[in-house]
Chains A and B, each alone.
Chain A
Amino acid sequence: MHPEKTSHTFEPKVIAFVCTWCTYAGADLAGTSRMQYPSNVRVLKFPCTGRIDPVFILKAFQQGADGVLVSGCHPGDCHYIAGNFHARRRFAVFRKLLEFVGVDLNRLQFSWVSAAEGGKWVEVVTDLTERVRAMGPMTEFKELALEEQWSGVIDTPELKEAFSQI
C-alpha cells in the first residue's frame, strides 16, 4: 500500500541543471532503485557543470522557476578534469550577486551528487521542493515579466486595468 498522497495548493516549479556523468546518472539510479520523490523537478542535462552558464539560472527564474538546482560531480570526480571546479567558483560568485539583488538563496541549491548517490539525489530534490513549497511562489521575476514600461510608470490604475485586459 502506498501512503496517502498529500495534496498541496501550491506545486512549485523546480528546474535542475545537472551534469550527465554524475548527477544525471545518480538520478537514473534513483529511478532504477524505484525511489520516490516529488514530481516537481524538471531535469536539464549538460555534459558538465562547467557548461552551465549563470544566465541559465537567471533565465529559469525568469521563465517561472520557483527553485533551481545545479548539481554535478564531486570535486575530483569531474569527467572533464576540472569543469566542476570552474563551475564551483562561478556559482560561488553568481549566488552572491543574486543575493545582493534580492533573490532569496533558499531558492537556489547547489549540490554534488555522484552516479552512486541515488539517495542523495532524492534527498536534495525533495528538500528543495519542500523548502520552496513552504516559501510559496517566486513572485519577483514573474512580476517583472508582467510589467510593461509605459511612460516610466507601471502601477497606475489605468495600466493595471490594461494589464488585466491583456
Chain B
Amino acid sequence: MQKYISQQNFTALLDALIKQGTRVVAPKLNAGTVLYEPLAAAGEMVADQLPRRSGKEAFFPLCEEIMSYEKTGQQVALTDIDPARFPETVLIGVRPCDAAAIPVLDAVFSWDYKDEFFLERRRKTTVVGLACTTADDACFCTAVGISPAETRGSDLFLSPLVGGGYRCESYSDKGEALINSHSALFAEPSGAEALPLAEPQTEKFDLKKVKAWLDEHFEDPAWDSIATRCVGCGACAFVCPACHCFDIVDEGTEKKGKRRKSWDACGFWKFTHHASGHNPRDQQPKRYRNRIMHKFKYYDDKFGQTLCTGCGRCIRLCPVGIDIAAIVEEISKKEV
C-alpha cells in the first residue's frame, strides 16, 4: 500500500498516537544529544539527524529489570516482570541502517531461547522507517549491501518529498494497520518527486571474500596492527544497531534487590574474564578481533546474515579512530 502524508498531517498523526496512549519513539533532542526517545509531542521529533544511539533500544533497552527479590526471615519472594504490560509502541523516523538491524536482532533473540522481553516489545511495535538524504564519509550502508532507501525491518517506510511531506509505503500488516487507524490523515500518492537519496562514498565490500579470509585467519599479525590502539571501551558496541550482547547482574543488598539485564561489549576486558582469573581474550586485539569475527563471520555462519548495517556510528565515536569500514576494506583486499 502506498500513500502520501503531508508534513502537517504527519505531525497530527504523531500527536494523535501520543494522545491515544501509544508510546511514540522517535529521534529527539535529549540534553543536547539526539536519541530515539518517547515523544511527549510531535514537535519534539528531530528528523534531520542520525540519532547518536541506534533504534535497537526500543526492543532491547540499555538496561531493564527482569526480576526482583526480597528476603523476609527465611522466606524469599521473587517477582517477575510481566512482558504483557509493555506498551504499544510506534518507532518512527528510523534510519534504514537502524531498521535493517531489527531483523538481524530478531534472529538472535528467537532462534533457541525465545526472549520474551525482546519479542513482546517487537510484537507491540510498529517500525516506521525514513529514507536517508544525507551521508557523511563514515556512512557505509551501501558497502554492506543496504541502501539509504532500504525498507528491510520497516513496517512502514517514509520517503521525504521535494516540497514537503512523505511518500508512505507499507511492508507489513502492522504498517497497513497504522495507516488504516488514521486513514483520514493519509492521501493517495502524488506525483511529487522524492528528495535525492544520500550517497555514501564507500565501495561495496565483497563480503564473501571478507568472510573467506576471516575463516582462515583467526590468528594473524593483522589483528595487532588493526587494534593495538583499541582502548577497550564499549562505545562501538553500545552505539551499534546490531550488537546485542548483554550482561545480567543482581543489584541491591542481600535482603532486597533486582536482577537487571544491561548491554555488554566484547571490547571490555571483563567480557571474557573467567572467575578463575584466566582471560582467554587477554589482549585488546583479541577482543577487537571478536568484534570483526562476530559481525562478518560468526553471525553469517549461524544466521546467514552480516551483523553490520553500515551506520558508521562506531567510526564516528571511536575514541581512537578505529574505522571498521577501512578494516573490512583492507581485509577484502587480502589474498585468501
- Partner among A148, A162, A165 whose Cβ is within 8 Å of the Cβ of B63: A148
**Any chain B CB within 8 A of the CB of A100?**
no
- With A158-B23, A158-B87, A162-B85 in contact, is A151–B61 under 8 Å at CB? yes
**Closest Cβ of chain A: how far from B73's Cβ, in Å?**
21
A44 to B334, CA, bound (A): 64
**Any chain A CB within 8 A of the CB of B62?**
yes
Interchain CB contact under 8 A, A166 and B61: no
**Any chain B CB within 8 A of the CB of A10?**
no
* B300 / chain A contacts, CB cutoff of 8 Å: none
Fill in one digit per residue for A139-151: 1 if any B CB lies within 8 Å of its CB, else 0.
0000000001111
* A157 / chain B contacts, CB cutoff of 8 Å: 21
Nearest B residue to A157 by beta-carbon distance?
A: B21
Interchain CB contact under 8 A, A152 and B37: yes
Interchain CB contact under 8 A, A166 and B30: no
Fill in one digit per residue for B254-266: 1 if any A CB lies within 8 Å of its CB, else 0.
0000000000000
**Any chain B CB within 8 A of the CB of A153?**
yes
**Any chain B CB within 8 A of the CB of A6?**
no
**Central interface residue in A157, A158, A162, A165, by most chain B CB within 10 Å:** A158
Chain B residues 58 to 97 lying within 8 A of chain A, measured CB to CB, are 58, 61-65, 68, 79, 81, 85, 87
Size of interface on B: residues with Cβ below 8 Å to A: 21
- With A156-B23, A158-B23 in contact, is A150–B87 under 8 Å at CB? no
A151 to B23, CA, bound (A): 11
Interchain CB contact under 8 A, A152 and B64: no
Interchain CB contact under 8 A, B37 and A151: yes
Interchain CB contact under 8 A, B63 and A149: yes
- Partner among B30, B65, B68, B81 whose Cβ is within 8 Å of the Cβ of A152: B30
Nearest A residue to B87 by beta-carbon distance?
A: A158
A166 to B85, CA, bound (A): 12
Interchain CB contact under 8 A, A148 and B38: no
* A151 / chain B contacts, CB cutoff of 8 Å: 25, 36-38, 57-58, 61-62
Nearest B residue to A149 by beta-carbon distance?
A: B63
- With A151-B25, A156-B38 in contact, is A165–B62 under 8 Å at CB? no
* B62 / chain A contacts, CB cutoff of 8 Å: 149, 151-152
A122 to B21, CA, bound (A): 55
**Any chain A CB within 8 A of the CB of B35?**
yes
A152 to B21, CA, bound (A): 18
- Partner among B21, B64, B68, B79 whose Cβ is within 8 Å of the Cβ of A150: B64
**Closest Cβ of chain B: how far from A118's Cβ, in Å?**
33
- With A158-B23, A158-B87 in contact, is A152–B36 under 8 Å at CB? yes
A151 to B81, CA, bound (A): 16
Interchain CB contact under 8 A, B57 and A166: no
Nearest A residue to B86 by beta-carbon distance?
A: A158
**Central interface residue in A150, A151, A157, by most chain B CB within 10 Å:** A151
- With A156-B38, A166-B68 in contact, is A150–B85 under 8 Å at CB? no
**Closest Cβ of chain B: how far from A63's Cβ, in Å?**
8
A145 to B110, CA, bound (A): 32
- Partner among A148, A152, A156, A166 whose Cβ is within 8 Å of the Cβ of B35: A152
- With A156-B38, A158-B23, A165-B85 in contact, is A149–B61 under 8 Å at CB? yes
* A166 / chain B contacts, CB cutoff of 8 Å: 65, 68, 79, 81
- Partner among B21, B37, B63, B81 whose Cβ is within 8 Å of the Cβ of A153: B37
* B58 / chain A contacts, CB cutoff of 8 Å: 151
Residue pairs across A and B with Cβ atoms less than 8 A apart, 10 shown, are: A148-B63, A148-B65, A149-B64, A151-B25, A151-B58, A151-B62, A152-B53, A156-B87, A158-B23, A166-B65
Chain A: residues with CB nearer than 8 A to chain B? 148-153, 156-158, 162, 165-166
Going nearest first, the 4 A-B pairs with the smallest beta carbon separation are: A149-B63, A158-B87, A153-B38, A152-B37
Chain B: residues with CB nearer than 8 A to chain A? 21, 23, 25, 30, 35-38, 53, 57-58, 61-65, 68, 79, 81, 85, 87
Taking A152-B35, A157-B21, A166-B65 as known contacts, 12 extra A-B pairs with beta carbons closer than 8 A to each other, sorted by chain A number, are: A148-B64, A148-B65, A151-B25, A151-B36, A151-B38, A151-B57, A151-B62, A152-B36, A152-B57, A156-B38, A158-B87, A166-B79
